[in-house]
Chains A and B, each alone.
Chain A
Amino acid sequence: MPDEVLEGLKRIVAEDLDMNLSYEEIDETVPLFEGGFAFDSVILVELISFIEQRFKIELREEDLNMETFRNLQSVARIVQAQLAARQS
C-alpha cells in the first residue's frame, strides 16, 4: 500500500498537474516548494483536489500545513494514515 500511494501521488504530479514533469523525474524526497518543484498555492490546491479524488479521502484541516506538504513522502504518510484509519 505505501508504494501504491506514492506511485499514485507521482502519477498525479506527472499526469494531472500542469508541471511539465515526467514520472521518472519525480523524486519523492525533493521539496515541493522552494528548492524543489517550486509548487505554488495554485498547484497545491489542485494537488489536494486530485489526492482527494484519487484516494477518495478528505484531508483533515489539521493535516493542511507546510509539514505535510514538504515532499511527496510526507504527503504519502498522511494519505496512508487516512486510508488505514478508514479500513480499521
Chain B
Amino acid sequence: MRRPNFFIVGAPRCGTTSMYSYLRQHPEIHVSVHKEPHFFGSDLTPLPGAIREEALYLELFAGAGDRPRAGESSVWYLLSEKAAGEIHAYAPEARIIILLRNPQEMVHSLHSLYTRTGNEDLPGFAEALAAEPERRAGRRIPPGAYFPEGLLYTGVGRYAAQVERYFTAFGRENVLCILFDDMVRDTAAVYRQALEHLGVDPRFEAELDPGRAGERARMQAIRQLTRTSPEVRRRLQFKDMRQHEGGPRSPLPAADAARLRDLFAEDVARLGALLGRDLGAWTRGERLSGRREARAVDDEALVGPGADHAGGSRDLDLEAEQAALRHLHQPDADRDLLARPGGADMADVDMGADGGLPRREKGLDGGEAGVLDQADHARGREDALQVGGSHVGSDPVDRLMGQAAAEHVGGHDG
C-alpha cells in the first residue's frame, strides 16, 4: 500500500487548510480526503475522528496512483513531541511543510474557536490564559473538552522547539516553513515555493482564491469519497456531523496583546534564529511585511472561520469565501444558519484591512447584501460568518476537508 510522503504538520489557525486546498489541485499531488487523520502523535489525546488504524489510514492514499506526492495535513503533529519521530520512522523520505503565524494571533484565534466547539468553557481569553497553570496540572479542564492539550495556549504558540524537532528528525532541507504573513502577501509565490519543496512542477497555476479553490476541492473530495470504502466513511463520521454556533470573536484587549507579545518574545526570537528571519515585527505587534497595501487574499480567509475541529462533531474550517460550497449543506442543522435574512446566500465578506470596519456581504449574484454590524470586532472575517444568521461551509465534505465554518471533532483548524 502506498504511504504518504508529505505532511503539513501545523500549526493550527495558520492557513494549513488553504495550502491544502491549493496543493490538492496539482496533478502530481494526491491529498487525503480526510485532511486531518492524526494518525501520528501518540503522545496526544486521540482526537475524535482520528484514524489510528494503519489499514484505514493507508486507504486514504490508495487513490494516489502514480502521482509522486501523497500527503495529509494534521495540525497537531507540530505540537506533539513524538509525531516528528514517528512520521520519520514511517516515511523517512517525507517532505514536511509547516505554516506559522504570529503566535499572539494564532492563540487568540484558537481560543475563539474552542469557545465555539466546546473544548473551552472560559469565554474570556485572559481568563483562559490565567487558567493554564491549573490546566497543566489537570484541573479546570472543561467537561466537554476533547483535546486538553490545545487549551495550553502559550505552549501551542511556542513554536521554536516544535519546529526544531522536525529539523532534527528530517533535516532542515526537508522542512519548509511558511510564514502566514508571506502567504497573505504573495500567495502565488508561496505556493510555488511549496511545489518546489515537494519536487513537483512549480509552473502549475492553481486557483488561489480561497473560495474557488475550496469549491474545486469539494468536488474532488466528493469523487474521492465515492471511491472510499464504507468502513472508512463510517470512521470519518461522515454522516455524523454537528453544527456549532458561535458568536463573534472579541478583540484582544491591548493589555492582553502586550502581555502575549512579551510572553512569546523569547520564543519568537529563537524561532527567527532557526528560520534565519527577523521576526521582530511579531513582537512589536506588526505584520512582517509592514502595513499591507495589497493582499493576495484576505488573511482571515486563509485561516477560515472556525477551523479547528471540536468535540462531538466534525467540522472543518471553511474559508469565508468558500461561498459556493453552501450549495451542499446539511438539510436540517444548517439551513437556518446558511440562509441570509434576505434569502440569498452569502458569497463573500469583505473585511477590509485590519480594523477596516464595516464589513460588507456580497450575495452569490454579486450584489451587495449589506453591512455586517460588528463594530466591536476589529478583525474577524471568520466571525463575520456568524452574524445576522449568515453562515458558510457547514457541509460534511467541507468539514472533512478542514473547510467548514462549523467546528467538528477531529479536525482542527486551518
Taking Cβ atoms with an 8 Å cutoff, the residues of A that contact B are 33-34, 38-42, 44-45, 48-49, 52, 61, 64-66
| CB-CB nearest 9 A-B residue pairs | A41-B397, A38-B331, A45-B225, A41-B328, A64-B219, A48-B226, A33-B327, A41-B395, A49-B226
Chain B contacts for A66, CB-based, 8 A = 324, 327
Known pairs A40-B396, A42-B396; A48 contacts B222 (CB<8 A) = yes
Inter-subunit contact B328/A44 (CB<8 Å): yes
Inter-subunit contact A64/B328 (CB<8 Å): no
Instruction: Determine whether B218 belongs to the interface, using a CB cutoff of 8 Å to chain A.
Output: yes
Beta-carbon contacts of B56-78 to A below 8 Å, as 1s and 0s?
00000000000000000000000
Inter-subunit contact A40/B395 (CB<8 Å): yes
Taking the closest CB of chain B, its distance from the CB of A20, in whole angstroms, is 10
CA A40 to CA B325, docked complex, whole Å: 10
Main secondary structure of the interface of B (DSSP, over half): helix
Inter-subunit contact A45/B324 (CB<8 Å): no
| Chain B residue nearest to A61 in the complex (CB) | B223
Inter-subunit contact A40/B331 (CB<8 Å): yes
Chain B contacts for A40, CB-based, 8 A = 328-331, 395-396
A-B contact pairs, 22 of them (CB 8 A): A33-B327, A33-B328, A34-B327, A34-B338, A38-B329, A41-B221, A41-B222, A41-B225, A41-B328, A42-B238, A42-B396, A42-B397, A45-B226, A45-B238, A45-B397, A48-B222, A52-B226, A61-B220, A64-B223, A65-B219, A66-B324, A66-B327
Instruction: Determine whether B235 belongs to the interface, using a CB cutoff of 8 Å to chain A.
Output: no
CA A40 to CA B58, docked complex, whole Å: 26
Taking the closest CB of chain B, its distance from the CB of A69, in whole angstroms, is 9
Instruction: Determine whether B239 belongs to the interface, using a CB cutoff of 8 Å to chain A.
Output: yes
Chain B contacts for A61, CB-based, 8 A = 220, 223
CA A49 to CA B324, docked complex, whole Å: 23
Chain B contacts for A44, CB-based, 8 A = 222, 328
Inter-subunit contact B331/A64 (CB<8 Å): no
| Chain B residue nearest to A33 in the complex (CB) | B327
Taking the closest CB of chain B, its distance from the CB of A42, in whole angstroms, is 5
CA A61 to CA B222, docked complex, whole Å: 10
Chain A contacts for B226, CB-based, 8 A = 45, 48-49, 52
